[in-house]
Amino acid sequence: MTNPKSTAQIAGHPIHPMLIPFPVACFVLAFVSDVAFWQTSNDFWATASLWLLGIGLIMAALAAVMGLIDLIGDDRIRNLNDAWLHAGGNVIAVLIELYNWYSRYTEGTSAIVPTGLVLSFIVVLILLFTGWKGWEMVYREHVGVADETPVTR
C-alpha cells in the first residue's frame, strides 16, 4: 500500500512542509524579540515583534490552507488522531497570535509586557507540541513521503 499522499503539491513535493518553517520561525523570533524588549525597553524590539507576528500570521494562513487541502484530500490522513491534534493546536496558536498582533497594533508597547510576552511563550509551547505531532505523521505514518525510487533517464 502506498503512503498517504499530500494533495497540495508541486511536482510531487508537498507544499505544506515547505511553508511551515516560516510561521514557526516568525512566532519563535517574536517571542525572542519580546524578551529583548522586556529587558531593554528598546522600541526596535517592539516593532520587530509586530512585524514578525504579522508575517507569521500571513504565512500561517498559507500553510493552513495547504494543510487543509492535504487533510481533506486523503481519508487516511483524516483518520489520524495526530492530524487533528496538529491542526487543532495550530489553529489555537494562530488565534492567540492574531489577538497578540491586534493588541499590539491597537495598544502599542503596553501590550507586550507581560501579556504579549506570555502569549508568545504559550504559542512557542504549542508549536513544540504541534510540530511533534506533525513529525509523528511524517515519521510514523509516512504522510507525504515518497518511498518510490524515482526513475532516472
pLDDT at 68: 97
Question: Which residue matches cell numbers 508541486?
Answer: 10
Name the pTM for this structure: 0.93
pLDDT tens, position by position, 35-92? 999 999 999 999 999 999 999 999 999 999 999 999 999 999 999 999 999 999 999 9
Sign of the alpha-carbon torsion through 95, 49, 37, 33: positive
Q: Decide if 84 contacts 139 (C-beta within 8 A).
A: no
Instruction: List the beta bridge partners of residue 14.
Output: 9
Q: Domains of the chain: which residue ranges?
A: 15-139
